[in-house]
Structure 1
Amino acid sequence: MNAPTLVQVAAIAIITTRCVDLLLLFNLLGLRGTMDFIHRSVQTWSLTLIFLGSLLMLCVEFRCAFVILKGRSWGRWVYLLTQIVAVSYLWAASLGWGYPELFSIAGESKREIFRSLVMQKLPDLLVLFLLFVPSPSRRFFQLQ
């Protein structure tokens, strides 16, 4: 069974946003900055775990996109879980409860940080909307 257009758009959006995020990050940091980032990320066990965890989440999100296209409902739920983990960690790190500061969002107040976080996660919220709300999407995952 072919996936509905909304599900295809959502899966492609997951892949595209992650690839563009990586390209923009590499463009911003350059080769030397990327190497420095990796070097700083493996300085302590906690930083290494956060770095490896973020890479694992990236791989899980890619896997979810491909699984979603096959109509497996667990893919959208796992993607939702990755977004909850990412938002929770970014929120905690931005408020000073998480480590390192590299994974935090700058802001003067909690309200400003929250606004920036929502704006940053808006594409992911749209993808989640496309996967869970429209009836063709829900029906597609119920049939599989």
Structure 2
Amino acid sequence: MGFFKKTTHHATLNVPALVQVAAIAIIIIRCVDVLMVFNLLGLRGLVDFVQRSAQTWSLTLIFLGSLLLVFIEILCAFSVVKGRNWARWLYLASQVVATGYLWAASLGYGYPELFSIAGGSRHEIFSSLMMQKLPDLLVLFLLFVPAPSRRFFRLR
């Protein structure tokens, strides 16, 4: 039975720990965000929110866009571990879109209230927004700044 040698070729991907931490953090942050929305609204409030979101095309698009954004971010988490450079840039773009919409909605340019931050002034709103986005900023830091992370994505 020594005539046939069984060989397997598995590509080993040495994912830096910082990239692994960033990917796990993206998934955990999104899951906790969803759980916090469920906790905030409750089952009845969630049903009311979905029903209200389905009343007009613009609200439906915002609701579906927010769900799409969550799925894109989770896709990015799985893709960055595979070394996909486009995934970290897509995650950055998703954060710019989400932060921009939250900022605009908080200043009264968007709807619904769920996607806005309360505050007495622009400065208070901006401070609260940055505090909410701090975990995402840390993830972006882990994906773009450390040399092992940059090298990992450059090699792919």
Task: Tell me if both proteins adopt one fold, taking TM over 0.5 as the criterion.
Answer: yes
Quote the residue 2:22 is aligned against. Answer: 10
Which residue, out of 52, 57, 62, partners 1:50?
62
Quote the residue 1:33 is aligned against. Answer: 45
Q: CA RMSD in A?
A: 0.8
Which amino acid in the other structure matches residue 122 of structure 2?
Answer: K
Quote the residue 1:141 is aligned against. Answer: 153
Quote the residue 1:129 is aligned against. Answer: 141
* Separation of aligned partners in 2, 1:76 and 1:37: 31
Size of the aligned set, in residue pairs, is 144
Q: Percent identity?
A: 73
TM-score (norm 2): 0.90
Quote the residue 1:120 is aligned against. Answer: 132
- Encode CA deviations 1:33-81: one digit per residue, 9 max, x unaligned: 1111111111111000000000000110010000000000000000000
Q: Which range moved further: 88-97 or 118-127?
A: 88-97
- Encode CA deviations 1:81-140: one digit per residue, 9 max, x unaligned: 000000111111111122223311110100000000000000000000000000000000
Give the gaps of 5 or more residues in structure 2.
Answer: 1-12
Which protein shows a greater Rg? 2
* Separation of aligned partners in 1, 2:46 and 2:15: 37
Which amino acid in the other structure matches residue 44 of structure 1?
Answer: T
The answer to whether structure 1 residue 22 and structure 2 residue 39 are counterparts is no
The answer to whether structure 1 residue 102 and structure 2 residue 120 are counterparts is no
Identify the structure with the greater helix proportion. 1
* Separation of aligned partners in 2, 1:100 and 1:141: 37
The answer to whether structure 1 residue 60 and structure 2 residue 75 are counterparts is no
- Aligned-pair CA distance for 1:32: 1.2
Spell out structure 1 runs of 4+ moving beyond 2 A.
99-102
Which amino acid in the other structure matches residue 63 of structure 1?
Answer: L
